[in-house]
């Protein structure tokens, strides 16, 4: 096709506009190919790995797996100012990109009433594209030439899908363009005497073969992986110790160790997401290898908070891996998170995933569960704030966190008139089912939009069954397309329900009318009622009746989710990963029967107790969480524990932790996230952040520098019980 624009500005948007007659996928392929000629390639001194930026140096629009088609208004304004002679054409391109942008389509698909419900923090669904776990090893093995050959074989078996395969081929061509640019740069710099001449010569030699051919040693594999990883979107490395191990063995140990260090440095620089180590196969044989141990050792030595690190454990996990994990946690970086194959794999198998694939699971993002290279399901499709749902139930669908209160949900009956706890719990369940249904519907609408306006030709090459069935990564191509909706505020809800059951219906000390009135008044003028409800028994202290009520609320949530199917062709399952949103959810939730007042940020930040309420020690806290049926959770179901550094960082302390973790996992626990901290250091860091710039804490499913957290979230971490 003849060029419509006679300049190279905004190459992504220009090519996308020029091919207006083609399908979105093909337009996207041409746009990625055009922008590959101009996307910045940097070489951070800490790692000397080719880091591809998302936006062309002369551009304003771009595509990533995490955002779809997007643009930067400031960059468009700059281009127009610098090139006034092309202002009209640039505006035409800008308007085309805006009309195609993923966020525009999503925003317009949601009504104002629906946005009001989402902004109340009751729930959200599908309003972002999410993480993924492509099989980067497939391209490392085959190279772009090998993958093109396989692509053409699949095309021959699936006539009538030429657009799909053309888009994928164009994306592979874009990788070759990047490789050719690197080769040209390396050839030039390898001729210059200096301390990096040897490294540039090695890079030159690598790129004479990659990316068109497969990797052939650890150096070429690391540099090829990083080019692909940053071109894709800087997401989750997945089971890196498994797909990189063959290259690790092909190189001298010293070189392999150096490249692992450089990869970890690079991942830290760009804030990569989840790197998953070890695990079992379908026969429960352990898959830990020398690369697993090396990565864990390097994470301990570097003491970075990123990338997220997950270690999978099971019945045959070596004691050495347990020990190294504990030693790494003792540094205080919050890494690794521990996941139990004995719970995760059965949970996935309940979704119809056979053991051969369930044992290929890994984490992405914070702690969502994916099947490495075979699924598009390891993302947060949505979230339900169970405690906000309780607030809506108590107030006939009104949001009492705002003034004046606003009706944002239907009423399923008056809480004031409930004559039994069973009747009130039924009202809550009906409200919860309504919010779950809305969340799944919203997530599905957004998934369909992603499929229509943000196909992903590259990931379609790297996720099994996409090329084989001629279906895009976003359109049901991957083998598994289940969804994950997260439950938040679990303990806050359970504590509130238990207090209602105890004080209103068992002891008859208060009426529902008195309680609802007190909640509407934010407990002001109701001091004795507030005291009684606040001091009622709490989840997290090994109280069987309280714990079982909590488990039943979660069971209902999980059962209801599984009634809903995803647009991607799977079913919804649940998890709990509050991320940094725990404090935000607390602020957005009005007074609750657990004694929480309106706007207080204190909120459950995992599946355990609301911070500070588990007062009977770690064994009691974990025994409460053992009462969940955790094989019902197909997404990360996060347990957080905080230990005093003075006790954990001893031989006896680490041995006790390992014993505690094994007991929890033997009794049905899915996951453990651990903070090893000094409370006085946290308090001092609040007042004097400049003294504690390297203080790291675990927040939900990720680790972060304490000073980067909001004040509310800092307090949430401080208030967690320290064991």
C-alpha 116 chain-centroid distance: 25
Please give the structure tokens belonging to residue 264: 């970890």
Quickly count helices (H) and strands (E) in the chain: 31, 20
Closest CA to 298 of 339, 272, 328: 328
Cα–Cα distance, 26 to 29 (Å, whole number): 5
Q: pLDDT value at position 469? A: 98
SS3 content of the chain, % helix, strand, coil (to 5): 50, 10, 35
Cis check for the bond before 188: say yes or no (omega within 30 of 0): no
Residue 722 carries which DSSP code? Answer: B
Contact 415, 516 (CB under 8 A): yes
Range 195-203 contact pairs with CB under 8 angstroms and sequence separation of 24 or more: 196/48, 199/48, 203/48
Element (H, E) at 394: helix 386-394
Please enumerate in sequence order all residues whose Cβ is within 8 A of that of 284, keeping only pairs 6 or more positions apart, or say none.
314, 315, 316, 341
Please give the structure tokens belonging to residue 649: 């960082």
- CA 81, 82, 87, 93: dihedral to nearest 10 degrees? -110
Cis check for the bond before 45: say yes or no (omega within 30 of 0): no
CA atoms within 13 A on the CB side of 174: 31
Q: pLDDT value at position 3? A: 63
Please give the structure tokens belonging to residue 343: 């719970």
Element (H, E) at 674: strand 671-677
Please enumerate in sequence order all residues whose Cβ is within 8 A of that of 215, keeping only pairs 6 or more positions apart, or say none.
140, 141, 143, 221, 224, 225, 247
Closest CA to 641 of 542, 559, 544, 723: 723
Q: pLDDT value at position 690? A: 81
Coil, helix or strand at residue 639: coil
Cα–Cα distance, 172 to 459 (Å, whole number): 11
- CA 310, 315, 320, 321: dihedral to nearest 10 degrees? 0
338 by Cβ neighbours in 10 Å (0-12 / 13-18 / 19+) ranks as buried
Ramachandran assignment for 10, one of left (phi > 0), alpha (psi -120 to 50 degrees), beta (any other): left
Q: Is the pTM of this model over 0.85?
A: yes
Cα–Cα distance, 444 to 109 (Å, whole number): 11
Q: How many residues does the chain have?
A: 723
Residue that is written with structure tokens 């992986």 in the block:
225
Contact 384, 439 (CB under 8 A): yes
3-class DSSP string for 337-354: EEEEHHHHHHHHHCCCCC
Element (H, E) at 69: strand 68-71
Residue 631 carries which DSSP code? Answer: G
Cα–Cα distance, 37 to 35 (Å, whole number): 5
Closest CA to 592 of 662, 684, 490: 490
- How far, CA to CA in Å, does 361 sit from each of 339, 377, 387, 647? 11, 11, 31, 33
Cα–Cα distance, 514 to 40 (Å, whole number): 64
Coil, helix or strand at residue 584: helix
692 by Cβ neighbours in 10 Å (0-12 / 13-18 / 19+) ranks as middle
Please give the structure tokens belonging to residue 440: 């799944």
Q: Where are the alpha helices (DSSP H) in 112-207?
A: 112-119, 136-157, 162-189, 197-207
Q: pLDDT value at position 201? A: 98
Closest CA to 573 of 358, 286, 350, 255: 350
Please enumerate in sequence order all residues whose Cβ is within 8 A of that of 148, keeping only pairs 6 or more positions apart, or say none.
169, 172
Closest CA to 274 of 236, 328, 331: 236
Residue that is written with structure tokens 């998953």 in the block:
276
Residue 591 carries which DSSP code? Answer: -
Q: pLDDT value at position 2? A: 45
Q: pLDDT value at position 694? A: 67
Residue that is written with structure tokens 């003034």 in the block:
403
Q: Where are the alpha helices (DSSP H) in 190-252?
A: 197-207, 218-232, 240-243, 245-250
**Mean pLDDT (10-residue bins), the chain, 723 residues:** 80 97 97 97 95 96 89 97 96 97 93 96 88 96 98 98 98 98 98 94 98 98 98 94 97 97 96 96 98 97 91 98 96 93 98 98 92 92 97 98 97 97 98 98 95 96 98 96 96 98 98 98 98 98 97 98 97 88 94 97 93 90 96 95 88 94 97 85 80 69 76 76 64
């Amino acid at each position: 096709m003849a060029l419509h624009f006679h300049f190279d500005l905004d190459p992504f948007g220009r090519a996308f506009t020029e091919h207006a007659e083609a399908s979105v996928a093909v337009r996207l392929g041409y746009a990625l190919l055009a922008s590959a000629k101009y996307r910045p390639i940097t070489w951070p001194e800490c790692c000397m790995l080719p880091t591809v930026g998302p936006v062309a140096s002369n551009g304003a629009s771009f595509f990533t797996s995490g955002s779809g088609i997007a643009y930067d208004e400031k960059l468009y304004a700059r281009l127009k100012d610098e090139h006034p002679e092309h202002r009209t054409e640039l505006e035409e391109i800008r308007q085309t990109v805006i009309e195609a942008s993923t966020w525009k389509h999503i925003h317009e698909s949601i009504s104002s009433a629906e946005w009001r419900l989402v902004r109340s923090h009751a729930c959200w669904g599908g309003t972002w594209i999410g993480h993924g776990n492509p099989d980067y090893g497939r391209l490392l093995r085959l190279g772009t030439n090998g993958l093109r050959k396989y692509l053409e074989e699949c095309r021959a078996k699936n006539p009538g899908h030429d657009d799909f395969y053309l888009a994928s081929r164009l994306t592979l061509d874009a990788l070759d363009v990047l490789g050719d640019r690197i080769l040209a740069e390396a050839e030039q710099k390898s001729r210059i005497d200096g301390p990096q001449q040897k490294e540039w010569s090695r890079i030159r030699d690598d790129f004479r073969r990659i990316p068109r051919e497969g990797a052939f040693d650890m150096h070429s594999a690391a540099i090829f992986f990083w080019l692909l990883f940053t071109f894709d979107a800087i997401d989750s490395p997945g089971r890196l110790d498994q797909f990189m191990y063959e290259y690790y063995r092909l190189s001298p140990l010293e070189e392999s160790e150096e490249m692992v260090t450089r990869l970890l440095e690079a991942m830290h620089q760009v804030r990569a997401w989840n790197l998953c180590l070890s695990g079992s196969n379908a026969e429960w044989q352990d898959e830990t290898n020398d690369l697993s141990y090396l990565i864990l050792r390097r994470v301990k030595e570097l003491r970075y908070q990123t990338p997220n690190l997950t270690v999978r454990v099971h019945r045959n996990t070596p004691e050495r891996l347990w020990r190294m994990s504990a030693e790494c946690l003792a540094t205080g970086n919050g890494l690794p998170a521990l996941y139990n194959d004995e719970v995760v794999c059965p949970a996935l198998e309940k979704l119809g995933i056979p053991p051969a694939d369930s044992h290929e699971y890994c984490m992405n993002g914070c702690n969502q569960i994916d099947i490495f290279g075979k699924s598009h399901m390891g993302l947060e499709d949505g979230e339900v704030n169970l405690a906000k749902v309780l607030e809506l139930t108590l107030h006939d669908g009104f949001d009492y966190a705002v003034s004046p209160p606003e009706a944002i949900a239907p009423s399923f009956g008056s809480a004031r008139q409930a004559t039994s706890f069973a009747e009130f719990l039924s009202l809550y369940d009906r409200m919860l089912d309504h919010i779950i249904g809305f969340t799944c519907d919203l997530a599905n609408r957004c998934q369909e939009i992603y499929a229509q306006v943000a196909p992903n030709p590259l990931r379609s090459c790297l996720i099994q069954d996409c090329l084989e069935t001629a279906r895009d990564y976003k359109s049901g191509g991957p083998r598994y397309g289940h969804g994950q909706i997260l439950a938040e505020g679990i303990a806050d809800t359970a504590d509130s329900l238990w207090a209602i059951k105890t004080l209103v219906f068992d002891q008859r000390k208060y009426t529902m009318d008195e309680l609802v009135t007190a909640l509407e008044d934010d407990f002001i003028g109701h001091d004795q009622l507030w005291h009684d409800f606040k001091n009622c028994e709490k989840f997290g202290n090994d109280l069987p009746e309280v714990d079982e009520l909590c488990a039943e609320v979660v069971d209902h949530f999980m059962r209801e989710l599984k009634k809903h199917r995803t647009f991607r062709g799977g079913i919804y399952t649940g998890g709990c990963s509050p991320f940094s949103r725990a404090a935000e959810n607390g602020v957005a939730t009005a007074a609750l029967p657990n004694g929480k007042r309106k706007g207080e940020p204190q909120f459950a930040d995992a599946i355990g107790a609301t911070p500070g309420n588990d007062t009977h020690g770690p064994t009691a806290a974990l025994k409460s969480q053992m009462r969940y049926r955790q094989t019902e959770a197909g997404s990360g179901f996060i347990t957080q524990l905080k230990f005093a550094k003075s006790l954990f960082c001893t031989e006896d302390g680490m041995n006790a932790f390992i014993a505690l973790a094994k007991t929890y996992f033997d009794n049905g626990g899915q996951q453990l996230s651990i903070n090893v901290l000094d409370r006085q250091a946290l308090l001092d860091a609040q007042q004097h952040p400049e003294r504690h710039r390297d203080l790291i804490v675990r927040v939900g499913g990720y680790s972060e520098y304490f000073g980067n957290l909001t004040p509310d979230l800092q307090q949430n971490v401080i208030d967690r019980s320290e064991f």
